[in-house]
A and B are shown apart, each in its own frame.
Chain A
């Protein structure tokens, strides 16, 4: 106990002359769980995106001679029912799952921030109109409408693009609400009044003065979103309404477990994506917690 207080006293002395970002960085670097998670996530991202250079096996080729082989030296994680190497598909699948997650997160954060900051900054009728619209979107049962929408557009447009657009269109509401409430609180400060009074354009006030101050909230939110959207993608793919079956993704690989024979007797086909997906989600959540902690001035770890 004595050590801990001494430690925190010391760290408080040190942090006196540091910028908030530097303090946050220091706190985050000291958070073991978050650092391990970041390391793991980075490894997964790098390995999946380098998949074409790591393995030479063809992911799309059906090989009847090598159907449902158990893990061995040739096939580290065995092969699936079409004779495709599970390890290779795991790498390529990670690429697709992470890419869909990242693209959705980027779109959701972009759209949510735009709507939220405009509503929060202007207030009045603009605010109520935008927020009613946000409520409207938030009132849709997410899964139901994603499934219906992707069923409509299937076949018209590239499956991956439509999935990303549909998921993003239905998920930005939460971010918009949070950004709005933060902007509402932030714009009461005098420096905003000052920048408005010297004639800054609203766009400049929002982008240069308001957004940097709500950035920490947005970063934490986008981490949580990233995890949630990867889950959404893989859940939809598992049900057969996500990434087209021809493209491997973790969810698509997992959907093999819908056959009870595969589920009961061939765990090497579905367990690897299940486990890697769970650990990835867990580590993203830990990173999110770490960031939240790091940006919180009250926490003193």
Chain B
């Protein structure tokens, strides 16, 4: 298992390098000086600009520039935002807790809802309750997240006034107090539900089908024949078998949450990484853009890696195979 894990992690390195090269080329291809931020925009003297370009190394070959960028990157030098004039690291560090809070809340809600609905529907298949859950699942899978978000804001914020429609916390509250955290949860709950809707639907569907399938297997019949109570059969015998494949979804969730966060954060004007990313594209803030793109790509890679490793843990055939 350890060998398999190490092999997967080493296999990730060339992928990471390739992606970094693509990100760098893309940033270079964008209009304007992608790595600027140092040049004084008010000084239009061509000689000054040429001198600064020379000093900042923009006239070097692409490869040299790439290695300089990667070198800085690995040492924690992420450059300076051209828009906010502060190091990108600070900018990102300020936003990251919000996005992590959103992602974790979304996962918690997903798991609670999916387990409750999936177990119910799996125990009582083809009943009224199961059909209702099935219908909800269909909606969860089909409604695009941004439409769900727009409707949620319209109904719950504007018409009912239950939830705030923007921001991550009430700015008048003192950080650290109980009310502060309550306000944060209040702000995050709707985006988190919208963000997790798709995953909730697919988890529920999977759990339901797996429970139904398992409940027809021989070991369940044996348990029944021995007189094991039904609740114990479902909660212990079947659950254990049905949860295992579900574990592997966790890695893919990371990738889904990243893409989802861009849209959800923008709609709810929630100050996280996704919103910062879109702002940096709109403002042509290339250093920020490159750092976030690299970060999100790395996270996606890590997510897929986790999924792969968990597959190996769950299914021994996979780790022997490749």
Contacts and interface: CB of A to CB of B under 8 A. Distances in A.
Interface string A132-173: 000110111111110111011001000000000000000000
Nearest to A241: B281
Interface string B133-161: 00000110111111100110110001000
Given A144-B292, A281-B142, 12 more contacts: A138-B304, A140-B19, A144-B258, A144-B293, A148-B26, A239-B146, A239-B278, A254-B147, A264-B158, A270-B150, A278-B144, A281-B144
Interface stretch (A16-24, A45-53, A111-119, A227-235): A227-235
B259 A142 contact: yes
Nearest to B16: A139
Contacts of A231: 144
B150 A141 contact: no
A263 interface: yes
Interface stretch (B63-71, B187-195, B223-231, B294-302): B294-302
A159 to B, nearest CB: 15
18 contacts: A136-B15, A140-B300, A141-B258, A141-B297, A144-B262, A147-B262, A148-B289, A152-B29, A235-B145, A235-B146, A238-B146, A239-B278, A241-B281, A264-B158, A267-B154, A270-B150, A281-B142, A285-B141
Interface residues of A, number: 38
Contact of B277 (A144, A260, A264, A274): A144
Given A147-B281, A282-B138, A139 B300 contact: yes
A151 B281 contact: yes
B30 interface: yes
Nearest to B26: A148
A274 B297 contact: no
A258 B258 CA distance: 21
A144 B304 CA distance: 16
Q: Is the interface of A mostly helix, strand, loop or mixed?
A: helix
Given A136-B18, A152-B26, A152-B29, A285 B259 contact: no
A277 interface: yes
A278 B147 contact: yes
B255 interface: yes
A274 B278 contact: no
A285 B138 contact: yes
A257 interface: yes
B165 interface: yes
Contact of B142 (A140, A141, A239, A278): A278
Contacts of B31: 152, 155
A235 B145 CA distance: 8
Contacts of A281: 142-144
- Interface centre among B15, B147, B289, B297, by most chain A C-beta atoms within 10 angstroms, is B147
